[in-house]
Amino acid sequence: MNTDDLQQKNARLVRNLVLVVVAMFGFGFALVPLYDVLCDITGLNGKVAATAAKEVVYPIDNSREVTVEFITSLNESAPMLFRPETKKLIIHPGEYYTVNFYAENLTDKPMVAQAIPSISPGLAAEYFKKTECFCFTEQTFKPHEGRTMPVRFVVNPDLPKQYKTITLAYTFFDNTKTQ
Amino acid sequence: MSAVIAEHDEHDEHHHDDHAHGPDKGLLRWIVTTNHKDIGTLYLFFALVMFFVGGSMAMVIRAELFEPGLQFVEPQFFNSMTTMHALVMVFGAVMPAFVGLANWMIPMMIGAPDMALPRMNNMSFWMLVAGVLLLASTLFMEGGAPAAGWTLYPPLVLQTGKALPFAIFSVHLLGISSIMGAINIIATIFNMRAPAMTLMKMPLFVWTWLITAFLLIAVMPVFAGAVTMLLTDKFYNTSFFDAAGGGDPVLYQHIFWFFGHPEVYIMILPTFGVASTIIPVFARKPLFGYSSMVYATASIAFLSFIVWAHHMFTVGMPIAGELYFMYATMLIAIPTGVKVFNWTATMWKGAMTFETPMLFSISFVVLFTMGGFTGLMMSIAPSDFQYHDTYFIVAHFHYTLVPASVFILMAAAYYWLPKWTGNMYNEKIGQLHFWLSVVSVNILFFPQHFLGLAGMPRRIPDYAVQFADWNMISSIGGFIFGASQLLFLYIVIDTIKGGTGEKVSDEVWEDAHKHGLEWTLPSPAPYHTFTTPPTTIPTEHI
């Protein structure tokens, strides 16, 4: 093969391979929305809707009891106090309940914080509906302000039979710096 | 065939004093070289140095784990050691060593005068050096080197001190270097083969590297993307993996392992290629099932893209996901089994001799199979909950990397050193190196299975006293293994300086010229080879 031909062939091949590289770099980023869509559809990973659910009337299943546990934690030791006022509740699917959480800013400065919910087992997440939650928006705290915040929720009676305990965990992230 | 060789000899002698065609003099030769043999040598030496650097880090780890309690290093530094050991060994030692072999051998095996893109070849080597130096520099930074494990999982990795952006940029450099190397290898194999060398006549080392190169260009960019997201999360307020902004750390694990699983095959497929090259020569038989070897390699490469979540069975997947990833992972055992049986069948009733390259290759077949079996155990999702993040996984992947990839790299060095240098290595010391290595590697890693099954977590500097005995035995094995590798260093230097003094023939190993084009060239291989393509090719390897 003469040299010019070979150079042309190499150039064409290299160009195509570089395109593959660029495409795969893009694919890495495309995984981000793909992952979110997949988690939204399936409710995997305990990811729950970040917006309020409509208040729908469900038939109340009084024959069934589900334990709902509430846990709180702070991300990277955010300077806050954060606790559930109710630790555990035995509920009937279909009935609406309200529980309170208490959070306090321990610093001398105003604070912006965001609570992130997670539900375990993850597959129960899509049956757990919140109509009111402090986690839907960022919360602003004045210096040393403490506040009681309600969460109103219902467990859809379609919840599969094997789920007897659902844990709702909140983590508060201190977002003050990123504002 | 011999007529063709004679022609080459003449050709090379003709240009012997022609400055433009010989190597440059002095140090500059190594910096500006575009010769595939020089660059191969650079890669191999660099990998050898990194093997000892990464090995020293492993010695720190094993010394700290010799007894329970904190003896020598701070926990933070210990975690830096596990992280850096892995990064140095993967990106600094094993991958560059195989690229070095590819540079040296692929043109000689397919009858090409050089790599297709010699200048890019030089650049990819020096970028690797820059990347590794940058990574090493993080050891001296405020907050220490990265200590979150080689997987760099957020949110932990985001707590790295000043080193984080340097580590990420170093990963970018290493990635670009590997991608350039891979593109070069693909271009060489596709466009530079001797006319008689059709795809299905290529030696298996060339085939496995072709497939590996495709894996590299497919997944290195994804890893580059993942670490870029880490960078923007840390410094530019994005929230790819930050739950506070709606991101998810588990997403990182998915992206990482989409890269990470093919990555582990990037380190093992060329290993298969070298084993398939060496075993037939010393069994004095053609390779059993050449085409099935090619298809098995391609199948393994394909499967590597669709099994990644078996690294994360415990993150909370739906049962359907666990089952899918479990069965898909088990499928890999089939093409891998094909390979192991083919190597065994190649040796069956062969007139075998046991020179050092063959000893390393046979022990590779046996010990890699053991690593494969523990992999199969962990593919079973419910069992994996017990093994996850324990010393069992540490034992598993070290069996597939040390007595597999590293042993085969040793085998390759012994096998081709006489061709590279024209001198014979000292067989007695070679065999001593082999026996010390094969015994100590098992003392080192086998007890880690027991530790893992008993529940010892990985990446911890201190442990419960119940794990003391096996850890001590493992550390003793580690020290012997580490020290034995100094023999290898000695042998390499000794062989370059003249070795046994015996003049090696062109084919070096009995009838090797029937197995590969490289053995039809003079020993040592001249600076320029196959400036005109060979007209016939050996077929014994098929």
- ipTM > 0.90 (yes/no): no
A35 touches chain B (CB under 8 A): yes
- For tokens 């129960």, the residue is A124
Across the interface, whether the CB atoms of B187 and A39 are under 8 A apart is answered no
Copy the structure tokens of residue B280: 């037939």
Considering the domain boundaries, does residue B541 fall inside one?
Answer: no
pLDDT in tens, A108-118: 999 999 898 88
Query: A43 pLDDT exceeds 80?
Result: no
Residue B143 confidence (pLDDT) above 60: yes
Q: B240 CA to chain A: closest CA distance, Å?
A: 7
Name the pairing type of β-strands A80-84 and A165-174. unpaired
Q: pLDDT at position B39, please?
A: 96
How far apart CA A39 and CA A179 sit, in angstroms, is: 28
Q: Is the peptide bond before B403 cis (omega within 30 degrees of 0)?
A: no
- In the prediction, which pLDDT does A52 show? 76
| Residue B368 placed within a domain | yes
Q: Are B240 and A76 inside 8 Å of each other by CB?
A: no
pLDDT in tens, A74-131: 987 788 999 999 999 999 999 999 999 999 999 999 999 989 888 888 778 888 889 8
The verdict on residue B138 lying in a domain is yes
Listed residue (A31, A55, A50) closest to A125, CA to CA: A50
Whether B120 and B180 have beta carbons less than 8 Å apart is answered as yes
User: In chain B, which residues touch A (CB < 8 A)?
Assistant: 116-117, 155, 159, 179, 182-183, 186-187, 190-192, 217-226, 229, 237, 240, 242-246, 248, 250-251, 254-255, 258, 315-318, 321
CA distance B439 to B483: 13
Sequence-ordered alpha helix ranges (H) in B88-203: 95-110, 118-137, 163-191
What residues are paired with B315 via a beta bridge? none
Q: What is the mean pLDDT of residues B119-124?
A: 95
SS3 annotation, B273-307: HHHHHHHHHHHCCCCCCHHHHHHHHHHHHHHHCCC
Q: At A57, list the tokens.
A: 């009337």
C-alpha–C-alpha distance, residues B235 and B160, integer Å = 13
Mark whether B344 is an active-site residue: no
Residues B329/B384, Cβ–Cβ less than 8 Å: no
Q: pTM for the full model?
A: 0.89
Question: Least CB-CB distance to B250: which of A6, A25, A45?
Answer: A45
Instruction: Using the predicted structure, report yes or no on whether residue B3 has a pLDDT greater than 50.
Output: no
A123 in B contact zone (CB under 8 Å): yes
B263 catalytic residue (yes or no): yes
Average pLDDT of chain A to the nearest whole number = 87
Residue type for position A153: F
Asked whether residue B268 is assigned to any structural domain, the reply reads: yes
* Rounded-to-integer distance, Cα B447 and Cα B395, Å: 8
Q: Is B124 a catalytic residue?
A: no
Position B7 pLDDT exceeds 80: no
Q: Which residue of A has its CA nearest to B235?
A: A178
Identify the closest residue of chain B to A49 by CA–CA distance.
B246
Of A18, A29, A116, the CB nearest to B243: A116
- Among the listed ranges A41-45, A63-67, B107-111, B269-273, which one has the minimum average pLDDT value? A41-45
Asked if pLDDT for residue B447 goes beyond 90, the answer is: yes
| Averaged pLDDT, A13-35 | 94
Residue B265 a catalytic site member: yes
Q: Looking at the domain assignment, is residue B530 inside a domain?
A: no
Q: Do A47 and B248 touch (CB under 8 A)?
A: yes
Question: What distance in Å separates the CA atoms of residue A28 and residue B20, rounded to the nearest whole number?
Answer: 45
pLDDT of residue B503: 85
Verify whether the Cβ–Cβ distance A22 to B221 is below 8 Å: yes
Tokens in use for B325?
């990833």
Catalytic, out of B8, B38, B64, B150: B150
If you ran DSSP here, which 8-state letter would residue B423 be given? B
Tell me whether residue B142 is exposed, middle or buried, using C-beta atoms within 10 angstroms of its C-beta: 0 to 12, 13 to 18, 19 or more: exposed
Residue A108 forms contact with B (CB below 8 Å): no
In the numeric block, which tokens belong to residue B101? 């072999």
For residue A143, the 8-state DSSP code is: T
Among this protein's residues, is B62 annotated catalytic? no
| Residue A59 backbone class (left: φ over 0; alpha: ψ -120 to 50; beta: rest) | beta
CB atoms within 10 A of CB B245: 16
Q: Which helix (H) or strand (E) holds A81?
A: strand A80-84
Q: Is the pLDDT of residue B8 over 90?
A: no
The answer to whether residue B140 sits within a structural domain is yes
Domain that holds residue B312: 28-520
Tell me whether residues A75 and B244 touch, CB distance under 8 A: yes
3-state percent breakdown (helix, strand, coil) of chain A, nearest 5:
30, 35, 35
Question: Active-site residue among B36, B311, B398, B433?
Answer: B311
| Nearest to B373, CA basis, from B354, B347, B392 | B392
Residue B119 pLDDT exceeds 70: yes
Per-residue pLDDT reduced to its tens digit, B396-437:
999 999 999 999 999 999 999 999 999 999 999 999 999 999
SS3 label, residue B456:
coil
In the block, tokens 């023939």 appear at: B505
CA-based nearest distance A156→chain B, Å? 19
Whole-number pLDDT of residue A1: 53
How many beta-carbon pairs under 8 angstroms link A with B?
100
- Best of B183, B210, B235 to disrupt the A interface (most A CBs within 10 Å) is B183
DSSP annotation of B457 reads B
- The answer to whether residue B479 is domain-embedded is yes
Please tell me whether residue A136 adopts helix, strand or coil conformation.
coil
Is B85 annotated in the active site? yes
Please say if B177 is a catalytic residue: yes
Q: What is the DSSP code string of B477-509?
A: HHHHHHHHHHHHHHHHHHHHTTTTSPBP-SS-S
Q: For residue B167, give both structure tokens.
A: 């580590």
Sequence-distant contacts of A80-88: CB under 8 A, at least 24 apart: A80/A104, A80/A105, A80/A106, A80/A111, A80/A113, A80/A141, A80/A172, A80/A174, A81/A106, A81/A146, A82/A170, A82/A172, A85/A148
Contact criterion met (CB < 8 Å) for A32 and B318: no
Residue B296 scores a pLDDT above 50: yes
pLDDT at B325 over 70: yes
Q: What is the pLDDT of residues B175-234, one digit of tens each?
A: 999 999 999 999 999 999 999 999 999 999 999 999 999 999 999 999 999 999 999 999
Rounded to whole angstroms, the Cα distance separating A92 from A96 reads 9
pLDDT of residue B245: 78
- Residue B19 lies inside a defined structural domain of this protein: no
Q: Label residue B351 exposed, middle or buried (CB < 10 Å: 0-12, 13-18, 19+).
A: exposed
**Chain A residues lying within 8 Å of B243, measured CB to CB:** 75, 116, 171, 173
Q: What percentage of chain B's residues is helix, strand, coil (to nearest 5)?
A: 75, 0, 25
What does the pLDDT read at residue B463?
96
Q: How many domains does chain B have?
A: 1
- Contact call for residues B154 and B206 (beta carbons, < 8 A): no
Name the residue type at position B489.
Answer: L
B427 annotated active-site: no
- Point out the residue among A42, A47, A114 whose CB comes nearest to the CB of B318: A42
Q: Which one, of A39, A93, A35, lies nearest residue B318 by Cα? A: A39
**Residue B246 — pLDDT band, cuts 50, 70, 90?**
confident
Q: For A13, which of B159, B191, B225 is closest by C-beta distance? A: B191
Q: Please give the structure tokens belonging to residue B247.
A: 């991101």
Residue B502: CATH number of its domain: 1.20.210.10
The answer to whether A117 faces chain B, any CB pair under 8 Å, is no
Express each pLDDT in B28-56 by its tens digit: 889 999 999 999 999 999 999 999 999 99
Q: Could you count the other beta carbons within 10 Å of the beta carbon of residue B376?
A: 16
Q: In the predicted model, what is the mean pLDDT of chain B?
A: 92
CA distance A140 to chain B (A): 14
Task: Provide the pairing of β-strand A80-84 with A66-74.
Answer: unpaired
